[in-house]
Structure 1
């Protein structure tokens, strides 16, 4: 398939994802209002899971069909870095103030859990073939699953307590129209199918383009495939911003990072030749550290809530995110050279 055909395939997928992403965000926002869920948790649990399914499909395909552990690991970790870098665009779009001033405190939990989970991944990549394993699965996989479930529970409980504190003690909750609720779930489901279907189609073009250009799979997984599979997150995040759901937009990106790290545990289950991270290149450790560094910057921004902008364009937190992303690109390119 030539470059033109691959480009047409990519833009067709992008158009479908963009349109379906807007519907997905509006439905998620309405469901949050009907069910009394916090927008941050909806972004973390609902939107992040749906938009990260292309990364899951690409990772399983990489280890089962292609037998390319570097492609799977590079895709998952590269998607984490790409999601955090996309916060820079959100920050620039929010012209009235930096996003960190308006974001809810729940986002601190998501970013904190992602640092912990990425830390386990970085350590496992450093240990390499000395990773302890149960059968063919590394012991880091059940730890990643446990932290992911704990993150979902913690964010949900935190936002539930916040919503209770904001609700007047004497106010009774309004009854939910069950027919409208079912209709909204159907709309959400159809939009999710469209996003996932187009998102799964994207990696094929990225992989074929990489083969045509003669690039290594570590580089392709971290850059091309990661950018392709994070397109659903970007489309849904921008759609959430259009309806004024900033917490849902940020929660989608940070929640996608948690799910992307969990994908490594799922890929590990399908990779039967031993622990996945034991066979992956140590160069991916640099990407994991870059994602931890960028998550740390996000945490600093959420705590300090910077008000000023550099050259009236973006916050200094975003400048740091761009620098960390550029350094990671250079490191992974030099390692693959």
Structure 2
């Protein structure tokens, strides 16, 4: 096992690779969407969320198959969901005058509600995992999550796709050849996958060297690292005035994260993964539910202006996230 400085350096290098490649991946994904005529609504809530969630997907696979640590995999997913909502509060700072929740459509409530339902299902499975039936080694909850994800995407966007306009107007971006953009997209996707595959190895070593639990490291450090592409993309979207794309990316990423959790369950062949991990992950899920509720209320209320540099809903989300991290740290110390 490598020393603590080597573990920290390796973790930092993997995180930097994911952050940089993830931002490039999102850029070329956006270009592909424009060159092929994919609608922005679909791109924000589905395509963008899938692209920025690639680190979580391959980090989970590596955590289970290479490192053999389901706690890092589950901690990454549950922590990423909470961190994505923290990102929503952070980007509120970059929106002048009004809270970002007042500038987006109420259509995001659907994605928020779906995310809450899937997270609730995950929390129930973590707490009562032994009582939930399985199909082989896979929990029935995971099967439900997979089916619900694809059915929901079909329902939410089936009708919108027919109204998508294929804009053939020449722009500076359309000067890029589609084949060249796709090659660059694949190149940065490979870099993201490489960083995500190596990240759990250093995270596992870092946890042991620093005396921290794998649950805590997965929920805080790994989740923050794999969620940074969402932060980069969302800030860029806000600066371009695409508030709906930014919010759709974050809420859509949380929905896609639950699909990744189901994939992790399939990859983990020692039984249902949510029955094999530290129950502390349920706490992350509960706080994610609270934070998503705050987002939904903010979108529905449409508060006309900020009283501070942040909207009230963004401030509450930040406070909830800090309470979550402090609680996890205290519980982790008691368990160790």
Q: How does 1:21-170 map to 2 (within 5 A)?
A: 21-157=22-158, 159-160=160-161
Structure 2 partner of 1:197:
194
Residues 179 and 151 of structure 1: is their aligned pair in 2 closer, same or farther, counting only changes over 3 Å?
Answer: same
Q: CA deviation at 1:182?
A: 3.3
Residues 16 and 104 of structure 1: is their aligned pair in 2 closer, same or farther, counting only changes over 3 Å?
Answer: farther
The 8 Å contact of residues 295 and 313 in structure 2, kept in 1 or not, is answered as yes
Does the residue aligned with 2:279 lie in a helix, a strand or coil? coil
RMSD value, Cα: 2.8
| Higher deviation after alignment, 198-207 or 103-112 | 198-207
What stretches of structure 1 of length at least 5 have no aligned partner? none
The 8 Å contact of residues 98 and 306 in structure 1, kept in 2 or not, is answered as yes
Structure 2 partner of 1:315:
311
In the alignment, the residues of structure 2 paired with residue 193 and residue 72 of structure 1 have an alpha-carbon distance, to the nearest angstrom, of 20
Q: CA deviation at 1:242?
A: 4.1
| Higher deviation after alignment, 29-38 or 126-135 | 29-38
Q: CA deviation at 1:137?
A: 0.9
TM-score by length of 1: 0.86
Residues 137-175 of structure 1 show CA distances to partners (whole Å, capped at 9, x for unaligned) of: 1110110001111232233236447x56xx7xxxx9648
Residues 102 and 304 of structure 1: is their aligned pair in 2 closer, same or farther, counting only changes over 3 Å?
Answer: same
| Higher deviation after alignment, 30-39 or 133-142 | 30-39
Residues 178 and 235 of structure 1: is their aligned pair in 2 closer, same or farther, counting only changes over 3 Å?
Answer: closer
Residues 199 and 245 of structure 1: is their aligned pair in 2 closer, same or farther, counting only changes over 3 Å?
Answer: farther
In the alignment, the residues of structure 1 paired with residue 14 and residue 238 of structure 2 have an alpha-carbon distance, to the nearest angstrom, of 21
1:181 to 2:178 alignment: yes
What stretches of structure 2 of length at least 5 have no aligned partner? none
In the alignment, the residues of structure 2 paired with residue 12 and residue 277 of structure 1 have an alpha-carbon distance, to the nearest angstrom, of 29
Structure 1 partner of 2:321:
325
Q: CA deviation at 1:306?
A: 1.9
How many pairs were matched up?
329
In the alignment, the residues of structure 1 paired with residue 69 and residue 10 of structure 2 have an alpha-carbon distance, to the nearest angstrom, of 24
1:262 to 2:259 alignment: yes
Q: CA deviation at 1:113?
A: 0.9
In the alignment, the residues of structure 2 paired with residue 282 and residue 300 of structure 1 have an alpha-carbon distance, to the nearest angstrom, of 29
